[in-house]
Amino acid sequence: MPMHRYGEADFDKDYLRWGFHDADTQTKEADSVVQIAGGGKRLRILDLACGTGVHAVHWAKQGHTVTGVDLSETFIAQARERMSREGVSVGFIVSDIRDLAFHETYDVVTWIENSFFDDDIVNRVRQYLTGGGCFVLDVRNPENAKAKFRQSNWRTWREENGIFYLERHETDEQTGVYEDAWITINPQRELIEERVNTTERPMTLDQKMHVMKKAGFDPVELRTMEGRLFSGGAEPYWLWLVGRR
């Protein structure tokens, strides 16, 4: 059975070191989302899997009303610290996004650096949106060479200060289970740590777009991080998948 390690304190603390886009990139992403949503007005934003709150706090500093949700108590604790430092207010909630049941509606729902995708969440997100509101999530451009590499089984490693960090990302073709493994080897301490996260085989971009259209989003489109409609090609690596209610 697939196993998500997100929300486990030891996994999340390690994830902080390598798992998120850098703060500057996240700030640019936040500005891009506002531009796609129309800009020029105060928005009600629901940030799913909000991580350490970089996007959410940036939006709050711009005057938007923001709710951020994440499974990880570790991430939310850091998000609340960030919020306090910046002197803004964000409604941060510790919860699995699959267990949410909001009654209020939002102008924008984001799901950035998402780790899975399914019909149920997409259907519920549409219910959370106001008429004309948009659902924005990041996806890899399937024509990009780096993205094509990631679609296959792949392994990589790096060395930092004498410690070796190995990654293994592979699909079991018989079960369809996709396994991410992160291995840390510290030769001086004779220590080997392995952390594993398993999920169902990730959906392709075409499958995600089909799910959003089936849920009633119209239009469903791809945009660049600069907010422009994506017309195809191998660049850039990251794109926005945008659906409007």
Domains in the chain and their CATH numbers? 9-141+202-244 (3.40.50.150), 145-200 (2.20.25.570)
CA distances, 8 to each of 72, 75, 197 (Å): 7, 11, 11
Bridge partners (DSSP) of residue 46 are 67, 109
Task: State the pLDDT at residue 19.
Answer: 67
pLDDT in tens, the chain (245 residues): 344 566 677 777 777 776 677 889 999 999 999 999 987 789 999 999 999 999 999 999 999 999 999 999 999 999 999 999 999 999 999 999 989 888 899 999 999 988 788 899 999 999 999 999 999 999 999 999 988 877 778 888 889 889 898 888 888 777 777 788 888 899 888 778 887 777 777 789 999 999 999 999 999 999 999 999 999 999 999 999 999 99
DSSP state of 99: G
Helix axes 54-61, 73-86, angle to 10 degrees: 30
Would you say the pTM of this structure is higher than 0.85? Answer: no
| Beta strands, E only, 38-173 | 44-48, 65-70, 91-94, 106-111, 129-140, 154-160, 163-171
Task: State the pLDDT at residue 212.
Answer: 97
Task: State the pLDDT at residue 2.
Answer: 42
